[in-house]
Amino acid sequence: MLDTDIRLEWFVSFLAVIDTGSFVAAAESTRRSQPRVSQHVAALEREIGQPLFDRKKRPVRLTEAGAALAVQARNVLQALEEAESAMAPWRGGALGMVALGSYPSVSAAFVPDLLRDLADSEPDIRVVLSERATLELDDALISGDVDLYLRPMLPRPVSESVTCLPLWREPLVVVHAEDHPLDLVPDPVPLHEVAVHPIVSIGRLDAPETSEFETYQVFRDQGLVIEPVQATNQPQTLVSLVARGIGVGVTNWLAAKTADTTGVRVRTLAGAPERGVAVCWDSTRPLNPAARIVLKEISERAVPEGTIRIPNKSAARKHVPLPR
């Protein structure tokens, strides 16, 4: 029989094993040791008097008792989060804090005006900016390090719980050094003319998900295969590598716009390939009132110059109305 002395952290560890498929992965996602996670699940099993997992299966599988408890455990934790959210407006005169994730080009082209306007209109909200690479932002959301984050719509988030609201689309551009052979190619520059040169791309060379970025997809769509000589998530680094003759850069418009492009040319690509950008959150975690205000502001404000707003009826990973 479960009593009121049961610890919420047991539920957290228990649900983490379900969501990740193993005790080891659950330990990583909750930032606990694997023995600690095992102890929490064992404590729950003692209280229930039944095994919650069939440990002979790989990945581990829930027993019938475990499946029944999982539903209630999620309800308990969600109720606790909703209670916390309801109390936020009364905490120390401040509406709340929001951890906002972003990646470099959007941090430079969109976030500063957003933060300035929020400081004027919502002085009781404190926004903490967390700037990371796109793939790192996905992990930050799932781990709870950020409440909301801005990211390219490709590659798609791995977790099904991530909900994305499309914001804008922007052109992909080619960046090459002055006096480069591409100078002789008229605008817009065909992709096959770019593909014959060493490529500097966005992302990380050692991350398999990098190949899912739009810069790779547009080449694949035309039957072209590229093997970048270097990749970076920093716009200025990409431009500097191009200026030093490392290769030809293919990146998004905002990345080129926010960098010092001295010594290089930024040019349009034939076929007008684009990148989509969205704001995302975890649909399994209630947003506190402050985060909902920030999300609404992001969704309604003007998009950066040189980009095109995506109508809200368009869908990304999963599109639902803004949380209330």
- DSSP letters for 207-255: -GGGGGSHHHHHHHHTT-----SEEES-HHHHHHHHHTTS-EEEEEHHH
Q: Are residues 146 and 25 in the same domain?
A: no
Q: Are residues 214 and 167 in the same domain?
A: yes
* Position 18 in a domain: yes
Pairing of strands 96-102, 230-232: unpaired
* Position 39 in a domain: yes
Backbone angles phi, psi at 21, to 5 degrees: 90, 0
Indicate the length of the chain as a whole number. Answer: 324
* Position 2 in a domain: no
Q: Are residues 213 and 130 in the same domain?
A: yes
Q: Are residues 160 and 253 in the same domain?
A: yes
Q: Are residues 277 and 305 in the same domain?
A: yes
* Position 3 in a domain: no
Lowest mean pLDDT of 88-97, 239-248, 257-266, name the range: 88-97
Alpha helices in the chain (DSSP H): 8-20, 23-30, 34-48, 64-87, 104-109, 111-121, 134-143, 191-195, 214-221, 235-243, 253-258, 289-300
pLDDT higher than 60, residue 42: yes
Q: Are residues 70 and 111 in the same domain?
A: no
Q: Are residues 157 and 117 in the same domain?
A: yes
Q: Are residues 58 and 106 in the same domain?
A: no
Q: What is the pLDDT of residues 116-143, one digit of tens each?
A: 999 999 998 999 999 999 889 998 998 8
Cα 28 to Cα 171: distance, rounded to the nearest angstrom: 37
* Position 1 in a domain: no
Q: What is the pLDDT of residues 4-15, one digit of tens each?
A: 667 888 999 999
Q: Are residues 213 and 141 in the same domain?
A: yes
Yes or no: say if 150 and 275 are a contact pair by the CB < 8 Å rule: no
Q: Are residues 41 and 147 in the same domain?
A: no
CB under 8 Å to 229, separation ≥6 — which residues? Answer: 198, 199, 200, 246, 247
Distances (CA, A) of 297 to 22, 303, 322: 38, 11, 11
Domain termination site, one of 60, 88, 116: 88
* pTM metric for this prediction: 0.69
pLDDT higher than 80, residue 239: yes
pLDDT higher than 70, residue 60: yes
The CA dihedral of 234, 238, 244, 250, to the nearest 10 degrees, is: 180
Q: Which domain holds residue 35?
A: 8-88
Instruction: Give how many domains the chain has, as a whole number.
Output: 2
Most confident option among 83-97, 149-163, 237-251: 237-251
Lowest mean pLDDT of 8-17, 74-83, 213-222, 299-308, name the range: 74-83
Task: Output the domain CATH number for residue 216.
Answer: 3.40.190.290
Q: Are residues 48 and 101 in the same domain?
A: no
The band of 93, judged by pLDDT with boundaries at 50, 70 and 90, is: very low
Alpha helices in 97-153 (DSSP H): 104-109, 111-121, 134-143
The mean predicted confidence, pLDDT, of the chain is: 89
